[in-house]
Structure 1
Amino acid sequence: MTIELEYSSSLNGASFLLFELKQVLKLKQLGLAKDEIRKRVKEENLFQFNNQGRIHRALPSVMKRAEAIGENLAALMLEGSIEMEKTLNLYAIMKTDLLFFEFMDEVIAEKLHNNDYLIEKKDINLFFTSKAEQSEKVAAWSDMNVEKLKRAYMQVLYESGMLRTRKGKELNRLIIDMQIRNHLTQIGEARYIHAMGE
């Protein structure tokens, strides 16, 4: 299933959200429809958020990620190791967020393929400057929105295990499980493995 994506800053309201994605995948496995899942998440506060506003901001992204992940990978995510969960969540974020995918592909993968394990502020600034030149949409975003997005990207790198420390600059290479690697290759999505630095 291909989702036509355009650039978005939705990662600001919905960064890693691994626990939340697993809650939605469990409900999907039970056979609940999208509307029923949304209703249960809100009524039972399944994301365990303190306020409804945060649920409303995060839920559309989580629903998209759950849709993008497919049944085989959803089963792996619910039964696999924490490393598998993080890798699959990173894949789901890339698959549903074009700008983040390009960041992974053009900045992170490039660095890892060159055995450069430092991600610096200038790398991220350069990426966003270049995207603003290519896209009117990105160019129209406020400086504050872009700054928040840069922080969200670093947060995703940290929570996925690709950044050694929360405030650090040192990258880690993910060890991607063979089942994930084989499945993504079989369904023609090896570019996501490449974007993770493989």
Structure 2
Amino acid sequence: MTKELDYSATLTGASFLLYELKQVLKLKRQGLSDDEIKKKVIEDNVFEYKFTSSLKRIVPSVIRRANALDDQLQEWILDNPLEEGKIINLYAIMKTDRLFFEFMNEVIREKLEANNNLLEKKDLNVFFISKAEQDEKMAKWTELTVNKLKQVYIKLLFEAGLLKNKKTGELYRLLFDENLKRHISKNGDMVYLKAMGE
């Protein structure tokens, strides 16, 4: 559960990364260890980045997300339709980033439950201000870091399919496959499904 994690700003350098996650899962499927995956991704530029400098920063996040998924979910990301992969990726991000999970749970879930399909700038502002008041480490983050995180959160919601339009802030309900819902629920992770508006 995300509760043991500290608040972190690592998402500023690692946003949705679904393509990258799929590449890592393919290497896992071949039996490579985390260290071997890290080495191969960097040496062979597996993500096909123009500049490989960012690989070192991104790979640990992607591997963490891959490890947050059980074998079944890993398989579904690789073999099932893209929309399902996006939902599983969003779930992995929440499982590995406490602050983002709390944002999903406290802002997005509450909006969708209230049938309020509008995410406004003030919602993000209020969330980050209240978290900074509760956490000393977060209170020391620069305005630049916080603004970057807000941008990343919007981008994540958009790429996951939860945000219809970045400018208007119109939210959209995700369509969950029944097997996926059952599986996540059986894993004891209903809280993540609820955070995604299910």
- CA deviation profile, 1:65-112 (whole Å, cap 9, x unmatched): 000011110001101111100000000000000000000000000000
Q: Provide the aligned C-alpha RMSD in A.
A: 1.2
Does the CA-based 8 Å contact 2:38-2:60 persist in structure 1?
no
**CA distance 1:38–1:3, shift in 2 (3 Å):** farther
Cα distance in structure 1, aligned partners of 2:13 and 2:168: 22
**Which segment is superposed worse, 120-129 or 27-36?**
27-36
Does the residue aligned with 1:46 lie in a helix, a strand or coil? coil
Q: In the alignment, what sits opposite 2:147? A: 147
**CA distance 1:62–1:135, shift in 2 (3 Å):** same
**Which segment is superposed worse, 94-103 or 171-180?**
171-180
Asked if 1:50 is matched to 2:44, the reply is no
Cα distance in structure 2, aligned partners of 1:2 and 1:194: 15
The alpha carbon displacement at 1:161 in A equals 0.3
Asked if 1:59 is matched to 2:54, the reply is no
Q: In the alignment, what sits opposite 2:124? A: 124
Q: Percent identity?
A: 53
Equivalent residue letter for 2:10 = S
The alpha carbon displacement at 1:2 in A equals 7.3
Cα distance in structure 1, aligned partners of 2:127 and 2:196: 17
Correspondence 1:111-190 to 2 at 5 A = 111-190=111-190
Q: In the alignment, what sits opposite 1:13? A: 13
Q: In the alignment, what sits opposite 1:41? A: 41
**CA distance 1:56–1:167, shift in 2 (3 Å):** farther
Does the CA-based 8 Å contact 1:94-1:101 persist in structure 2?
yes
The alpha carbon displacement at 1:3 in A equals 8.1
Does the residue aligned with 1:69 lie in a helix, a strand or coil? coil
The alpha carbon displacement at 1:167 in A equals 3.0
Does the residue aligned with 1:188 lie in a helix, a strand or coil? coil
Per the normalisation by structure 1, the TM-score is: 0.97
Equivalent residue letter for 2:7 = Y
Cα distance in structure 1, aligned partners of 2:57 and 2:177: 31
- CA deviation profile, 1:102-155 (whole Å, cap 9, x unmatched): 000000000000000000000000000000000011101000000000000000
Cα distance in structure 1, aligned partners of 2:34 and 2:47: 16
Structure 1 gaps of 5+ residues are none
Does the CA-based 8 Å contact 1:3-1:96 persist in structure 2?
no
Cα distance in structure 1, aligned partners of 2:43 and 2:22: 17
The alpha carbon displacement at 1:25 in A equals 0.4
Equivalent residue letter for 1:78 = L
Equivalent residue letter for 2:70 = G
Equivalent residue letter for 1:150 = K
Does the residue aligned with 1:164 lie in a helix, a strand or coil? strand
Asked if 1:74 is matched to 2:112, the reply is no
Per the normalisation by structure 2, the TM-score is: 0.97
**Which segment is superposed worse, 162-171 or 77-86?**
162-171
Cα distance in structure 1, aligned partners of 2:185 and 2:146: 33
